[in-house]
Structure 1
């Protein structure tokens, strides 16, 4: 008899414990869902150069939704806020979420400019070949594109910029691309006065490789300042014109 009673008491204790845990969990969830937005936080992922600021993002959200602080969390539609942030031309992607403490957090990846167009209109080309407006907050140190700018030439310029951007030597050395005409592109260098005639965008790997080899040898020989023009457009050759 006592043995059977002991089993019943253990069963009752276990049942009571489960009910308490379930109740606490439900109570915690209920309190969490009932909370209002406690504050807003903006984080920029990756590039430390900010083309837009936390203040700009907060202002954008206030203009669209009003103040989100103290708004019930259940009224917040996260994907709508993400789309509003991604509508900004400086933004590549955004992730918005609410923390358990009620903080509305926006994690933002900015677009990355790799070239700057200086024509009738001024803008960046980003790393996907798309136009990106200039920023009042930061000016990117990227090659300046000048000359006869058109749709076709911009496509070619983007291909050239991709080659520059993936190589540390070229990123540090090349500061400009001048469009002379169809399939006629020139490179401007940071530390040297000679012009590099690139020709068209065919065989760019070979052209850039040849130029890097030429530059290393001429730098070693201390003859870089002897040249006015360095031409890469001829078949697998570097042809130099002295001053």
Structure 2
């Protein structure tokens, strides 16, 4: 008569018990209802959105935190909904075993504010439109003239260069796009206009302007200038 291998039987029972417990816990976890929405922003600056605004977006798309089970929650859909919002650059949504729905938001960063006869809106670094926010007003250059969402692409390099440069972002307050495509910039501290020309050779033109400014600021005559022309790559032409 063969002896019963109790060691093998115990091993099999342990495996079945582990499978049962795993299945039981997985089922209970999937049936757990979302108990709380935790929303965090990557940056506390430029808060165009609030927790309540993001919370409402989530609730509108899954019916309320206290009424839905985790297994009914489509995280990819929620992320897509948030990513489609014009003020959100990237959203991450994930749930935890204790019933928390965690949301991490990266907001878009506006680089200019466009003002037309009938509308006003921001543009981000990629040229995407952002509506104005009642919660926050960004301190960015104002852009007027012959510009629209359709033709803004050639000017993005110019606007992004202003945004990323500490000196330019503090001193350039506005840009006028002429029908010819030339750009005229406005300085914060002085009355002269900066004739930038077409949005070409952007880095070189701004390098020339900064060199001129840091030299001219030592001379009180800078207050007498009416126009600073950057259209000529090799030199800066000033008019009084």
Q: Report the TM range for the smaller structure's normalisation.
A: 0.7 to 0.9
Give me the whole-angstrom Cα distance separating, in 2, the residues matched to 1:132 and 1:230.
Answer: 32
The answer as to whether partners of 1:123 and 1:134 remain within 8 angstroms in 2 is: yes
Q: Given the alignment of the two structures, is residue 60 of structure 1 paired with residue 57 of structure 2, yes or no?
A: yes
Residue correspondence of structure 1 range 1-243 to structure 2 within 5 A = 21-46=18-43, 48-120=45-117, 121-150=119-148, 154-242=152-240
Task: Kindly provide the CA deviation profile for residues 155-204 of structure 1, in whole angstroms up to 9, marking residues without a partner as x.
Answer: 33322102212212111111111123313211111222211110111221
Superposed displacement of residue 32, structure 1: 1.9
Q: Secondary structure at the match of 2:176?
A: strand
SS in 2 for 1:57: helix
CA distance in 2, matches of 1:235, 1:96: 49
Q: Could you list the runs of 5+ residues in structure 1 that have no partner in the other structure?
A: none
Structure with the higher fraction of residues in helix conformation:
1
**Relative to 1, partners in 2 of residues 1:234 and 1:111: Cα closer, same or farther, differing over 3 Å?**
same
Query: Residue 36 of structure 1 aligns to a residue in which SS?
Result: coil
CA RMSD, Structure 1 to Structure 2 (Å): 2.5
Q: Which sections of structure 2, spanning at least 5 residues, go unmatched?
A: none
Contact in 2 for aligned 1:177/1:188 (Cα 8 Å): yes
SS of structure 1 residue aligned to 2:37: strand
Q: Could you list the per-position Cα deviations for residues 57-98 of structure 1 after superposition, in whole angstroms to 9, with x for gaps in the alignment?
A: 222233343213241111111111222222322122222111
Please say which of residues 55-64 and 76-85 is displaced more in the overlay: 55-64
Tell me the secondary structure at the aligned position of residue 156 of structure 1.
helix
CA distance in 1, matches of 2:123, 2:113: 6
1:28 Cα deviation from its structure 2 partner: 3.2
Q: Are the counterparts in 2 of residues 153 and 179 from structure 1 also a CA contact under 8 Å?
A: no
The count of corresponding residues between Structure 1 and Structure 2 is: 238
TM-score (norm 2): 0.87
Deviates more, 1:59-68 or 1:71-80: 59-68
Deviation digits for residues 5-41 of structure 1, max 9, x if unmatched? 9xx7776776666565555444433332221111112
TM-score, length of structure 1 as denominator length: 0.86
Contact conserved, 2:91 with 2:106, CA < 8 A, in 1? Answer: yes
Q: Structure 1 42/151 Cα, relative in aligned 2: closer, same or farther at 3 Å?
A: closer
